[in-house]
Each structure stands twice: as C-alpha cells, then as structure tokens.
Amino acid sequence: MGDGAWECDFGSYELQIINAKTDSWVKGARVKVSNKESQTGDCLFTPEQLSQRFESKRDASLRRFGIVTGYYSKPLPIRPSGQNYVFPYQNQKALLSFSVRKQDFYNAGYYLSWRSPIYKKIERGKIRENIMHYELHSVFLSPDGSHIAFLIRRLERVFEGEEWSFMSNGSSTQ
C-alpha cells in the first residue's frame, strides 16, 4: 500500500424514493454516489466531500419529486403485544403485525401488516438471499397522517461474516 492509502474510504451512499401507493420505486429518483472510480480504483473524494456530494444530489432529487424535508419526527411508541405491536394512531390504537420467515439460516423474509381502521398488508414474506434475520426497529407517521414508515433492522451475511443494516418500508394510511 502506498502513502495515504489508509485515508481512502471506498464507501458509497444511495437513496431510493418509493411511491407508497404503488409500493414501487419512483423512476428517475435513484441517487447514488460512490467514492471509487470504476476504471482505476482510485479514491475520488474525502469522506467529507463524499457526504456533501450525496447531500446536494439527495436534496435536489427530493425537491424534484415534491418531498418536503426538514420535518423530523420521533418514532411512535410501539410496544409488543404477543406477536404484534400496538401504537397510537388517530386517537386509537393501531395493531401492527411483524414476523420473520426463515427458509434456512442464510435466507429469510418478513411479513408486515397493520390495521387501523383498515387492514394493509405491506410485506408478504418474500425470501431474500443472504439475509439472516429481521427486527422491527421503529415506526414513523407523516405530519398529516397520510403515510406510515417502518424502519427495519436486518442481519446480512457479508464477505467476512455478518453485519447489521437498516431498510425501510412504508404505506399510505388510506
């Protein structure tokens, strides 16, 4: 390794915008910034420059699709109730069902649905390779109550072992 090689961060940032009504990616909304130039393998940015580059592209993409930023909510207080979770929603209690489906040690999926007052099935247990486990981390509600987001923690098999990462899922409330 040459001088300064330890300073190179080969990280990347990626953002996908999901249409909650159709549960699909929004075309043209993907933002990805990587620190590795594909042909030479050299670092292009310092970690700070990479972060700034991603933030500017992310904010531009969010504005282009009419997504308001700057609203930060605390997660809803969820509490386990058997195999379900209960959380407050529009002056009543909503019931969230979250369970893990295991095919084998290295392949898992999860089921996610919620009810209040209508029933919505969000994730149907699709098995994903190299995902060993899922956990429900937190639940967020949009400012106007029209959308709900779920932050899910997952254990992935990676090159040198395993690591935890986060993914999200969401739905409209109507």
Give the CA-trace dihedral at 142, 64, 51, 11, to 10 degrees: 90
Give the C-alpha separation, 174 to 162, whole Å. 38
**pLDDT of amino acid 1:** 38
Residue 4: pLDDT band with limits 50, 70, 90: very low
Predicted TM-score (pTM) above 0.75: no
Residue 15 has pLDDT above 60, yes or no: yes
Residue 53 has pLDDT above 60, yes or no: yes
What single-letter amino acid sits at 125? Answer: G
**pLDDT of amino acid 5:** 45
Give the C-alpha separation, 70 to 126, whole Å. 33
Residue 39: pLDDT band with limits 50, 70, 90: low
Residue 86 has pLDDT above 60, yes or no: yes
Average pLDDT value over all residues in the chain: 79
Across residues 91-105, what is the average pLDDT? 83
Q: Name the residue among 139, 82, 134, 137 with its Cα closest to residue 116.
A: 139
Q: Name the residue among 82, 108, 174, 93 with its Cα closest to residue 139.
A: 93
Residue 41: pLDDT band with limits 50, 70, 90: low
For tokens 């109507």, the residue is 174
**pLDDT of amino acid 20:** 67
